[in-house]
Amino acid sequence: MEVNKITYKTIDEYILQFPPEVKEILNRLRKVIKESAPNATEKISYQMPTFALHGNLVHFAAFKNHIGFYPTPSGIAAFKHKLSNFKSSKGAVQFPIEKPLPYDLISEIVKYRVEEDVKKAEVKLKKPKS
């Protein structure tokens, strides 16, 4: 049995599928991430909008009742205290769709992930090849 699964090639394609109020949230979230990680590139990974630098930085996705934000387990752990009012797991946080997203906090997390990603890349470059 074949399942009708949509595959997205761009973040624009992904966002277009949603109603206007969700599109607005997703576009603002995208803008906040772009401003917080200006050197990151956009792509679709795991069928979700993704920002990457030296690897995946963050993903996001819209669901019926929430916006999922995926800053990796380290991004969640580093901001656990500030994310305590939201449902979260090891690598994800859910922001209720009916409440304003904490864009300042999202920006902080993205900037943290950029720093972390750059440091990892620098360490890789310094490692002697065997």
Domain ranges (residues) in the chain = 22-120
Token pair 């963050």 in the structure block, residue? 58
pLDDT in tens, 79-123: 999 999 999 999 999 999 999 999 999 999 999 999 999 998 888
Q: Which tokens in the block code for residue 48?
A: 């979700």
Structural contact between residues 94 and 82, judged by C-beta atoms closer than 8 angstroms: no
CATH topology of domain 22-120: Aspartate Aminotransferase, domain 1 (3.90.1150)
pTM score: 0.90
pLDDT score of 129: 62
